[in-house]
Amino acid sequence: MKITLIGAGNVAWHLGQAFCQAGHQIAEVWSRSPSNAQELSKILPHSHINEDLYLADSEAELFVIAVKDDAIGSVVEQLILPENALLVHTSGTKSLAELEHWVEVYSDVPLQLGVFYPLQTFSKQAAINFDEVPICVEAANTHTEEILIALAQSVSEVAYLVNSQERRMLHLAAVFACNFTNHLWALTQDMLEEADLDFSLLKPLIKETTRKALRAEHPAEVQTGPARRHDHSTIDKHKALLRNEPENYQKIYKQLTDSILGYYDESESF
Amino acid sequence: MKITLIGAGNVAWHLGQAFCQAGHQIAEVWSRSPSNAQELSKILPHSHINEDLYLADSEAELFVIAVKDDAIGSVVEQLILPENALLVHTSGTKSLAELEHWVEVYSDVPLQLGVFYPLQTFSKQAAINFDEVPICVEAANTHTEEILIALAQSVSEVAYLVNSQERRMLHLAAVFACNFTNHLWALTQDMLEEADLDFSLLKPLIKETTRKALRAEHPAEVQTGPARRHDHSTIDKHKALLRNEPENYQKIYKQLTDSILGYYDESESF
C-alpha cells in the first residue's frame, strides 16, 4: 500500500518503519514540526516531505493521522484529500464518530474513514517488536474494515476489530493497568530514597510480580501481601509508618488495601 | 556451611536449593507438614528430616527459620538448639528485636541471632535466578553480620546490610510496588471481561510500561496518561464511564489521578 503519514511523533515513527518493513511504501510525511518530518522521512525509503496539508494530488491509498488527540480536529480542518480517500486516526480515546464529525464539517469531498490504533506506548529511542503490538481497527463500512484488518495483519500478529466504545474501555483499562502502576512505582522510589534505600532493591521483585501476574489465568490468583491475608496487624503497622509520608500515600494505601480486603473473602485468607 | 532449614515452604524450597548449589550442605529439614519436609529433603543431597524441633545435637552451624511470619514465635518456643548456635529468620516484616524477644523468653541457652531476608516472591513451581535476588542481612553483632553477608554473597550478587526499620520500609514499599499493582491488574482484567474484551490485549503494553519504568532513572520521568497531561476532558470522560463500575474503581481512579495531578506541575504538562 502507498501510505501518507500525517504526524511524525512517537507513533508515526514506529508505525512508519513497521509499514516499510512489511513492504508498504510511505509516500508523504507531514508534521507541524519540519525537523520531525525531516528526521522521519530520512529513515523511510522513497518518502518525501509535504510542507502543508494540501494532499489532493497525493498517490497514497491511505492517510494516517498520528498526531496528539487534541490536534486531530485542526489537522482535519487543514487537510485537503482526494475524493474517497481512506483516512484513519491512531488514537485510543477519539471515537470514529468524532472523526466523521470533523470530516463532515471541514472536508469538501467524501472520504472513507477508520481507526488504526496500535495499543502500545512508543518512544523514539526504544525499539519495539511490532509483531506483538495489538492493532485495534474500526471502520464505517465492511470494505474499509477489510482493508484495515489486512494492513494490521501485515505489520502485527494481533489485529482486532474494536469499536469506539470498546476502545474507550480499553483506554480506561490501560490507565489502571499502566499509568497508575507507573505512578505507584514513582511513589515507591521517592519513599525509598527518602529512607536512603535504593529502588533497585525492589526491581527483581517488581519484575517477578509482573511476570507472574501476566502468566496467571487471572492476576487475582497470584495476589499476595497483608491485605490478601486479611493481616490487620501488619496493615495497622503500615498505616502508622505512613503517618510520616505525604497524605496521598496514606489515601492510596487505604483505598487499595480496602479494595483488596473487599475482593477476597476473609475465610479464604491464608 | 552446614545449614538446617526450619520450614519447607516456598522460601525454604528456593533457599535450600540455592545453598546447595553454592556448595553448602543442608543438614536437617523440619516442617510442620511432614510431606513438605519429605519433598524438600528429597531434592537436597545428604539432608535428612527432623521430626521435631529438638536440634540440640545438630552439627549445623546455621539454623534458618523460613516459616510464615505468624508462626515464628511458636517455632522458637519449641526449638532446642546447641549453645551459641546461629539462628536467623527470613521475614520481611519481623524485626530482629522480635526474634531476640522470643529467644529470651523461650530458649534455655544463649544464641547468636540475625535476619536473612531474600527480597523476592517465591513459588515452588516457578524457577528463580537466585543470583539476582537481593538478600537483606541484619545481625546483633559484627561477627554474625560478617558470617551472614558472606553466606548471602555465596548465593546472590546482591547482598545488603539492612536494619529492621529499613526492612520494614522496604516491605511497605513492596506493598505499593507489587501488591497494589497486581491488584490493579486484577481489577483491569475484571473490567475488560465485563466488556467482553480480552485482558491479553493489554499485556504487551503492561510489559513495555514495566520495562520503561525500571530502566528510567526514575519512573516519574516516563509517566504518561491523561492525569500526567492535566487532560481534564479525558479524566471527566473516564469518570463518567466508571459510573457503571463498582465503587472501589471510582475511588481508586480518583485517588491515583489526584496524586498524579499533584505530582506534576500543570505548566510542565505536555
What does the alpha-carbon distance between residue B105 and residue B107 come to, in Å, rounded to a whole number?
6
Give the minimum alpha-carbon distance from B221 to chain A in angstroms, rounded to a whole number: 9
Q: Specify whether the CB–CB gap between B52 and B77 falls below 8 A.
A: no
Closest in B126, B172, B180 to A256, CB measured: B180
Report ipTM (2 d.p.).
0.91
Chain B hits for A181, Cβ within 8 Å: 181, 184-185, 206, 209-210, 213
Q: Considering just the CA atoms, what is the radius of gyration of chain B in Å?
A: 23
Judge contact between B263 and B230, C-beta under 8 A. Answer: no
CA distances (Å), origin A107, targets A103, A119, A149, B53: 5, 28, 25, 83
Q: What is the mean pLDDT of residues B219-237?
A: 93
Contact B134 A228 (CB under 8 A): no
Residues of B in contact with A192 (CB under 8 A): 169-170, 173
Q: In the predicted model, what is the mean pLDDT of chain B?
A: 95
pLDDT over 70 (residue B90):
yes
Q: Which helix (H) or strand (E) holds B48?
A: strand B48-49
Q: Using CA atoms, how far apart are residues B252 and B261, in angstroms rounded to an integer?
A: 14
Cα angle B135, B137, B140 (rounded to 5 degrees) comes to 170
pLDDT of residue A32: 96
Q: Provide the sign of the torsion angle of the four alpha carbons B198, B204, B207, B209, taken in this order.
A: negative
In contact, A119 and B201? CB cutoff 8 Å: yes
Residue A268, pLDDT score: 60
The answer to whether the CB atoms of B169 and A191 lie below 8 A apart is yes
Give contacts of B128 with chain A, Cβ < 8 Å: 208
Look at A175 and B226 and tell me if their CB atoms are within 8 Å: yes
Question: Does the beta-carbon distance from A172 to B241 stay under 8 Å?
Answer: yes
Give the gap in angstroms from C-alpha A58 to the nearest C-alpha of chain B: 32
pLDDT tens readout for residues A49-66:
999 999 999 999 999 999
Lowest-pLDDT range, A30-34, A103-107, A120-124, A193-197? A120-124
Chain B closest-CA separation from residue A187 CA (Å) = 8
Among B175, B218, B225, whose Cβ lies nearest the Cβ of A238? Answer: B175
Q: Count of CB contacts below 8 A, A vs B?
A: 277
Distances, alpha carbon A145 to alpha carbons A120, A148, B76, in Å: 21, 5, 68
The counts of H helices and E strands in chain B are 10, 8
- CA B161, CA A60: separation in Å to the nearest integer? 63
Task: Return the CA Rg of chain A.
Answer: 23
Q: What is the 3-state secondary structure (H, E, C) of chain A?
A: CEEEEECCCHHHHHHHHHHHHCCCEEEEEECCCHHHHHHHHHCCCCCEECCCCECCCCCCCEEEECCCHHHHHHHHHHCECCCCCEEEECCCCCCHHHHHHHHHHHCCCCCEEEEEEECCCCCCCCCCCHHHCCEEEEECCHHHHHHHHHHHHHHCCCEEECCHHHHHHHHHHHHHHHHHHHHHHHHHHHHHHHCCCCHHHHHHHHHHHHHHHHHCCCHHHHCCCCCCCCCHHHHHHHHHHHCCCCHHHHHHHHHHHHHHHHHCCHHHCC
Contact B177, B169 (CB under 8 A): no
Q: Which residue among A183, A204, A205 sits closest to B260, beta carbon to beta carbon?
A: A183
**Digit-coded pLDDT (tens) for A175-211:** 999 999 999 999 999 999 999 999 999 999 999 999 9
Whether pLDDT at B269 is above 60: no
Cell reading at A107: 472536508
pTM for the whole thing? 0.91
pLDDT: which is higher, B121 or A27: A27
Whether B176 and A191 lie within 8 Å, measured CB to CB: yes
> Residue B114 has which C-alpha cell?
540475625
Of B202, B249, B251, Cβ closest to residue A177: B202
Residue of B nearest to A260 (CA): B183
pLDDT by residue (tens digit) across A216-270? 999 999 999 999 999 999 999 999 999 989 999 999 999 999 999 999 988 664 4
pLDDT value at B137 more than 70:
yes
Name the average pLDDT for chain A.
95
Q: Is pLDDT of A123 > 90?
A: no
Pick from A173, A196, A208: which is nearest to B188 by CB?
A: A173
* B30 three-state secondary structure: strand
Query: Average of pLDDT values for B13-25?
Result: 97
Nearest residue of B to residue A216, measured between CA atoms: B186
Cβ contact, residue pair A177, B205, below 8 Å: yes
Please tell me the distance from the alpha carbon of residue B115 to that of residue B135, in angstroms, as a whole number: 10
